[in-house]
Chains A and B, each alone.
Chain A
Amino acid sequence: DTGVSQDPRHKITKRGQNVTFRCDPISEHNRLYWYRQTLGQGPEFLTYFQNEAQLEKSRLLSDRFSAERPKGSFSTLEIQRTEQGDSAMYLCASSLRDYYGYTFGSGTRLTVV
Chain B
Amino acid sequence: KNEVEQSPQNLTAQEGEFITINCSYSVGISALHWLQQHPGGGIVSLFMLSSGKKKHGRLIATINIQEKHSSLHITASHPRDSAVYICAVRRGGADGLTFGKGTHLIIQP
Residues on A close to B: CB < 8 A? 31, 33, 35, 37, 40-45, 47-48, 50, 55-56, 58, 89, 91, 93, 100-104, 106-107, 109
Contact = CB atoms under 8 A, between A and B. Distances in A.
A6 to B, nearest CB: 9
Interface in B64-107: 86, 88, 94-102
B48 interface: yes
If over half of A's interface residues share one DSSP class (helix, strand or loop), that class is named, otherwise mixed; here it is strand
A26 to B, nearest CB: 12
Given A31-B95, A100-B48, A42 B101 contact: yes
If over half of B's interface residues share one DSSP class (helix, strand or loop), that class is named, otherwise mixed; here it is strand
B96 A33 contact: yes
Given A42-B4, A58-B96, 13 more contacts: A33-B97, A41-B101, A42-B100, A43-B88, A43-B97, A45-B98, A48-B95, A56-B94, A101-B48, A102-B97, A104-B42, A106-B41, A107-B42
B45 A102 contact: yes
Contact of A42 (B40, B42, B45, B99): B99
Given A91-B43, A106-B40, A107-B41, A101 B97 contact: no
Interface residues of B, number: 21
Contact of B97 (A41, A45, A100, A106): A45
Contacts of A45: 96-98
